[in-house]
């Protein structure tokens, strides 16, 4: 099947993950929050590179800052949809991640960000602190602005967590089906 403008590999991928999307509503919720995050603020790789070179990725207006915070919040909500409310206790947070097929010690980040490459666990803790201090409580003047590059990095984290969870659930279902057929 061909769709105008959509590569066949993308269509094949969508078909391959459809069983997980149909079975697990929380994955659809996570994807919806992620979609809202990237619709509100999306940057091309070239835009991010330019901002990093210019060292000028902070919003220039309050409205722009509010958009970044909204996008950041939706990226965080997509993570919450997968793992639940992240525990403030590190060991419990690790278990939440592992339970959903995510390695808490995996080094992730936007592909060219330095020092953007950090453990999943550390990035979630940073997002949780920012959420608690800023966007969730309407405090946009806390002395720490979220820049475009940090947002892009955290959107990549959310994307990674969603895709890892989908792969994990598909593998779980495959194992279950094999057991049903063989036994």
Token digits of residue 170: 């598909």
- pLDDT 10s digits, 77-100: 999 999 999 999 999 999 999 999
Domain ranges (residues) in the chain: 23-182
Lowest mean pLDDT among 86-100, 101-115, 116-130, 155-169: 101-115
> 71 near 111, Cβ under 8 Å?
no
Predicted local distance difference test score (pLDDT) of residue 134: 59
List 3's β-bridge partners, or say none. Answer: 6
If one compares 75 and 61, the residue with the highest pLDDT of the two is 75
Give the pLDDT score at 100.
Answer: 97
Residues with Cβ within 8 Å of residue 33, at least 6 apart in sequence:
74, 75, 77, 78, 81, 158
Which residue from 72, 71, 59 is spatially nearest to 130, judged by alpha carbons? Answer: 72
Where does residue 84 fall: left (phi above 0), alpha (psi -120 to 50 degrees), or beta otherwise? left
**Phi, psi for 108 (deg, rounded to 5):** -135, 165
- Of the candidates 64, 18, 57, the one whose C-alpha atom is nearest the C-alpha of residue 41 is 64
122 or 44: which carries more pLDDT confidence? Answer: 122
d(CA 15, CA 127): 32
Nearest to 145 by CA among 34, 46, 33, 66: 66
C-alpha to C-alpha distances, 14 to 33, 125, 133, nearest whole angstrom? 18, 31, 37
Residue 139 reports pLDDT greater than 70? no
Mean pLDDT of all residues in 174-180: 76
């Amino acid at each position: 099947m061909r769709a105008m403008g959509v590569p066949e590999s993308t269509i094949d991928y969508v078909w391959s993950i459809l069983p997980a999307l149909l079975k697990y509503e929380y994955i659809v919720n996570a994807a919806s929050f992620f979609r809202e995050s990237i619709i509100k603020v999306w940057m091309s790789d070239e835009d991010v590179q330019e901002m990093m070179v210019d060292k000028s990725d902070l919003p220039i207006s309050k409205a722009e800052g509010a958009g970044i915070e909204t996008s950041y919040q939706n990226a965080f909500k997509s993570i919450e949809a997968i793992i639940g409310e992240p525990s403030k206790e590190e060991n419990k947070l690790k278990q939440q991640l592992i339970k959903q097929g995510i390695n808490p010690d995996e080094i992730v980040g936007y592909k060219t960000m330095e020092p953007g490459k950090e453990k999943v666990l550390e990035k979630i803790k940073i997002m949780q602190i920012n959420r608690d201090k800023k966007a969730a409580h309407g405090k946009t003047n806390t002395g720490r602005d979220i820049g475009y590059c940090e947002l892009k990095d955290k959107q990549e984290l959310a994307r990674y967590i969603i895709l890892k969870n989908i792969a994990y659930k598909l593998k779980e279902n495959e194992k279950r089906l094999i057991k049903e057929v063989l036994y």
